[in-house]
Amino acid sequence: MSAQPNDFSSYTQQFAAAANRANRLALENAESVFGVQLRAFERNSSAAAGFFGELSQAGAQADLQALLPKGLQLARDSMERLASANQEVLGLSLKTSEALGALVRQPFAAKPAKAAGKTR
């Protein structure tokens, strides 16, 4: 009869450890995702600021027409950076979900069989 409280305590400790690990994985993923998105935003905003600086310096109509291809290239580069960041975020989320799946499967892993010599 004393084995039941010990089992409950053991299961509670295992559950708390698994929940703690799951929370840590989720927070690490959120931190990584935020970092990736922040880097992409920083690169895009600095490129746009540089372009707007050039645009404000342009005086003649010919200068403005010369900046149009640069603006289109800036938009294309920004979209490529965003797509790359999204792919990286997807990869990070996939790794995190795999780690969470492994964490969930852990209690259900095959436990070693008890000694074969003991039969009832």
Res 29 pLDDT > 90 = yes
Count of H-run helices and E-run strands, the chain: 2, 0
Percent of the chain with pLDDT over 90: 52
Please answer whether residues 92 and 33 qualify as being in contact, where contact means their C-beta atoms are separated by less than 8 angstroms: yes
Q: What is the pLDDT of residue 11?
A: 85
Q: Which of 10-19, 21-30, 59-68 has the lowest mean pLDDT?
A: 59-68
Closest CA to 78 of 33, 47, 54, 50: 47
Quote the distance between the C-alpha of residue 118 and its chain's center.
49
Q: What is the pLDDT of residue 3?
A: 56
**For residue 1, what pLDDT band results from cuts at 50, 70 and 90?**
very low
Sign for the pseudo-dihedral over CA of 109, 112, 113, 114 = negative
**For residue 59, what pLDDT band results from cuts at 50, 70 and 90?**
confident
Q: CA-CA distance, 108 to 97, in Å (whole number)?
A: 17
Rg (CA), the chain: 28
Q: CA-CA distance, 60 to 67, in Å (whole number)?
A: 11
**For residue 81, what pLDDT band results from cuts at 50, 70 and 90?**
very high
Reported in sequence order, the residue ranges of 33-101 that DSSP labels E, i.e. its strands, are: none
Res 115 pLDDT > 80 = no
Q: What is the pLDDT of residue 113?
A: 53
